[in-house]
Structure 1
Amino acid sequence: MLQWLFATLHLLALGCGLGALAARGRNLAPPLDAPALTRCLRADNWWRHSLLLWLCSGTGLAYYHAALLWQQGRPVPLAMAKLLGIVLLLLLEWRTRPLISQCRQRLERGRLPADELCRQLARHSRRQLLLLLLLVLLSSAWQTGAFNTP
């Protein structure tokens, strides 16, 4: 029962996160105005909450499926690729946080952020979105047993 709940939360968080990343990047497209930036920051809030839920539920699922991470005393290559992708996603998020903070501070002061800052944040959003889609692809390949050679 708990495993089913983790899986449900994991998929729900994944869907919300994909939509939030796409919205964050889309709302940073020029010409940027205050309402678009507000929508971008709201989408970022959704992304942060869904990322937290996604990581927590994924950790719960990994606990139940720990035996699938290792086969014949070796790590499963797709599982390790997925873990590497998660680390890369978290590193990108760590690099994105200061940019978001700058945007929030400028908006609170009644100013729009610089165009270069918005372009950089949009680039980070696209990279995170592509990486998250790659993680979905790796997860589905792993769960179906593709490329898992003995």
Structure 2
Amino acid sequence: MLQWLFATLHLLALGCGLGAIAARGRNLASTPDAPAVQRSLRADNWWCLSLLLWIVSGSMLAASHLSLLWSQGRPVPLAMAKLVGIALLLQQEYRTRPLIRQCRQRLERGRLPTEEIGSMLAHHSRRQLLVLLVILVISTALQSGLFNTP
């Protein structure tokens, strides 16, 4: 029952996160006005919440399915690819946080973020969306047992 709850939470967080990261990038893609920046920052809040829930629920699921990560004394290649994808996603998020902070500070002072900041955030968002989709594809292959030859 607990696994089912974590799996449900994991999928809900993934769906919410995909939408939030796409919205964050879309709102900043062109020259943004104040409402677009505010929508983008709200989407970023949803993305942060989703990322937290996704990582926590994924860790709980991984702990209960260690055989998916390690088989016959060796790591499962798709599991390692997924972990590398998660590391890339978190590294990209680490690089995005200062830009989000700058946007929030500029908006608090009544100024819009510069076009450079907006375009960098849109670029980071597109990159994160791509990595997240690749992780999703790897996860489905991992769950189906595809390519899991030791």
TM-score range, shorter chain: over 0.9
Equivalent-residue separation in structure 1 for 2:86 and 2:149 (angstroms)? 23
Q: Secondary structure at the match of 1:148?
A: coil
Q: Secondary structure at the match of 1:149?
A: coil
Question: Counterparts of 1:66-145 in structure 2 under 5 Å?
Answer: 66-145=66-145
Deviation by residue 1:79-98 (Cα, 9 ceiling, x = unmatched): 00000100110000000000
Equivalent-residue separation in structure 2 for 1:18 and 1:68 (angstroms)? 24
Deviation by residue 1:59-80 (Cα, 9 ceiling, x = unmatched): 0001110122111100000000
Deviation, 1:29, is 2.1
TM-score, normalization: structure 1?
0.98
- Give the alignment's Cα RMSD to 1 decimal: 0.6
Deviation by residue 1:1-60 (Cα, 9 ceiling, x = unmatched): 100000000000000000000000000022310000000000000000000000000000
TM-score, normalization: structure 2?
0.98
1:9 aligns with 2:9: yes
Equivalent-residue separation in structure 2 for 1:7 and 1:58 (angstroms)? 8
Mean CA deviation greater in 46-55 or 67-76: 67-76
Give the count of matched residue pairs.
150
AA in 1 matched with 2:132: L
Gap regions ≥5 residues in structure 2: none
Q: Secondary structure at the match of 2:29?
A: coil
1:23 aligns to what? 23
1:36 aligns to what? 36
Query: 4+ residue runs of structure 1 moved beyond 6 angstroms?
Result: none
Deviation by residue 1:102-142 (Cα, 9 ceiling, x = unmatched): 00000000001110111100000000000000000000011
AA in 1 matched with 2:139: S
